């Protein structure tokens, strides 16, 4: 199926259903309980912030693991959870669909150490962007980070929209992508974080390109809060966002071995039947902005893709309507990205 058809399906899945968001629970000690989805075998920034004691007015309640960013932020928008995170373009799409949310802090990004790469088997004949026409690329979800990067990569290298539409995106769970490449089920696969490093260490794969090569260091995605939650619970919103911002800086400034040790402790103590084997591949927080501050550039970077995908016509993107840094105690004016 061509990219255009797959994107149409993903846009349909982003429509916001009717419903009233559940009120967050407040304990006797005054703390607000925030429901969230985690990530298996990994430690999220809010989980780290709670473990480091950065939250004074909120506590977390894990309700399961997310399957992808668009699903995570839609769960937050419809009140199934109280916050969620996704790629900047997915945040734009959700808000354009009418979701009453705003981005409040970046939770992932790319730098020279931490990035998303696109890999082929070592002996693959695929070496140029044009070689991808008619080929299958594994991504974790549609209408998000990997799709935007692929589209940008192909466009910058001169492929027409008709040619790009012949590149097939195949949705696979990140944990299955490496083996899908090795077995030849897909021609190319998107790998990031510890999954990428583990796959590279095993040998037999070759990097075709990565998003750091395309953009340099950049903020990739944000946590969103519902507008009603932030309005009714400004102290809790400030506590949550600033705590996450502090966790970003803790990861940035703490020796790598200590970060991995802390992650290992958190995973072992929460007893979710997980593995800590991949933690040794952790390299950096990736987020370039101070305290994860959000800026216009986090959205304008994707203007061409948003336009070509039919999400936001060129000239209509209003980034300042998408985010706020008012709850981030570490944010510098306007942030940085």
Q: What is the percent of the chain where pLDDT is above 90?
A: 85
The domain spans of the chain are 26-111+218-321, 118-215
pLDDT reading at 65 higher than 50: yes
Cα 309–311–316 angle (5° rounding)? 120
pLDDT tens figures, 96-108: 999 999 999 999 9
pLDDT reading at 172 higher than 70: yes
Q: Supply the DSSP symbol for 274.
A: -
Residue 337's pLDDT band (cuts 50, 70, 90): very low
Q: What are phi and psi of 288, to 5 degrees?
A: -80, -25
List all residues 6 or more positions away from 239 whose beta carbon is below 8 Å from its beta carbon: 55, 56, 57, 58
Which one is predicted more confidently, 22 or 158? 158
Strand order in the sheet with 83-87: 83-87, 218-226, 101-110
pLDDT tens figures, 247-285: 999 999 999 999 999 999 999 999 999 999 989 999 999
Helix (H) or strand (E) holding 62: strand 58-65
Instruction: Give the mean model confidence (pLDDT) for residues 148-176.
Output: 96
List all residues 6 or more positions away from 9 whose beta carbon is below 8 Å from its beta carbon: 142
Q: Is residue 59 classed as helix, strand or coil in its secondary structure? A: strand
pLDDT tens figures, 179-197: 999 999 999 999 998 889 9
pLDDT tens figures, 205-217: 999 999 999 999 9
The CATH superfamily label for domain 118-215 reads: Periplasmic binding protein-like II (3.40.190.10)
Q: Is residue 108 classed as helix, strand or coil in its secondary structure? A: strand
Mean per-residue pLDDT of the chain: 91
Residue 332's pLDDT band (cuts 50, 70, 90): low
- C-alpha distances (whole Å) from 330 to each of 22, 59, 108, 289 are 29, 20, 16, 10
Nearest to 188 by CA among 131, 257, 121: 121
Instruction: Give the mean model confidence (pLDDT) for residues 290-314.
Output: 95
Residue 70's pLDDT band (cuts 50, 70, 90): very high
Residue bearing tokens 């407040």: 26
Instruction: Give the mean model confidence (pLDDT) for residues 43-71.
Output: 96
Distance CA 255, CA 137 (A): 35
Sign of the alpha-carbon torsion through 84, 87, 91, 93: negative
pLDDT reading at 37 higher than 70: yes
Nearest to 91 by CA among 311, 283, 270: 311
Instruction: Give the mean model confidence (pLDDT) for residues 283-308.
Output: 96
Class of 26-111+218-321 in CATH: alpha beta
Bridge partner list, 58: 32
Nearest to 151 by CA among 174, 177, 129: 129
Q: What are phi and psi of 38, to 5 degrees?
A: -100, -160
Count other C-beta atoms under 10 Å from residue 297's C-beta.
Answer: 17
Residue 8's pLDDT band (cuts 50, 70, 90): very low
The rounded Cα 75 to chain-centroid distance in angstroms is 15
Helix (H) or strand (E) holding 270: helix 256-270
Distance CA 212, CA 209 (A): 9
> Are 26-111+218-321 and 118-215 the same fold in CATH?
yes
pLDDT, residue 194, reads: 84
């Amino acid at each position: 199926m061509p990219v255009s058809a797959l994107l149409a399906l993903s846009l349909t899945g982003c429509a916001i259903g009717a419903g009233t968001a559940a009120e967050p629970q407040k304990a006797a000690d005054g703390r607000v309980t925030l429901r969230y989805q985690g990530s298996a075998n990994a430690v999220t920034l809010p989980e780290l912030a709670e473990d480091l004691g950065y939250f004074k007015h909120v506590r977390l309640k894990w309700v399961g693991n997310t399957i992808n960013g668009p699903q995570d932020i839609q769960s937050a928008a419809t009140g199934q959870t109280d916050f969620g995170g996704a790629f900047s373009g997915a945040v734009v799409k959700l808000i354009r669909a009418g979701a009453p949310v705003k981005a409040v802090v970046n939770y992932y990004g790319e730098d020279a150490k931490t990035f998303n790469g696109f890999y082929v088997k070592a002996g693959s004949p695929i070496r140029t962007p044009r070689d991808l026409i008619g080929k299958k690329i594994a991504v974790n979800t549609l209408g998000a980070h990997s799709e935007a990067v692929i589209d940008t990569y192909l466009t910058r290298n001169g492929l027409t929209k008709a040619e790009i539409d012949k590149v097939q995106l195949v949705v696979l769970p990140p944990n299955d992508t490496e083996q899908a490449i090795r077995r030849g089920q897909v021609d190319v696969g998107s790998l990031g974080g510890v999954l990428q490093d583990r796959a590279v260490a095993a040998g037999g794969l070759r990097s075709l390109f990565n998003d750091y090569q395309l953009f340099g260091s950049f903020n990739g995605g944000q946590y969103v809060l519902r507008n009603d939650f932030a309005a009714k619970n400004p102290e809790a919103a400030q506590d949550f966002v600033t705590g996450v911002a502090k966790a970003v800086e803790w990861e940035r400034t703490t020796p790598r071995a200590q970060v991995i040790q802390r992650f290992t402790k958190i995973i072992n103590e929460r007893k979710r039947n997980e593995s800590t084997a991949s933690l040794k591949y952790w390299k950096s927080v990736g987020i370039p902005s101070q305290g994860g501050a959000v800026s216009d550039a986090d959205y304008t970077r994707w203007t061409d893709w948003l336009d070509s995908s039919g999400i936001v016509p060129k000239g209509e993107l209003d980034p300042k309507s998408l985010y706020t840094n008012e709850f981030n105690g570490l944010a510098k004016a306007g942030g940085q990205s």
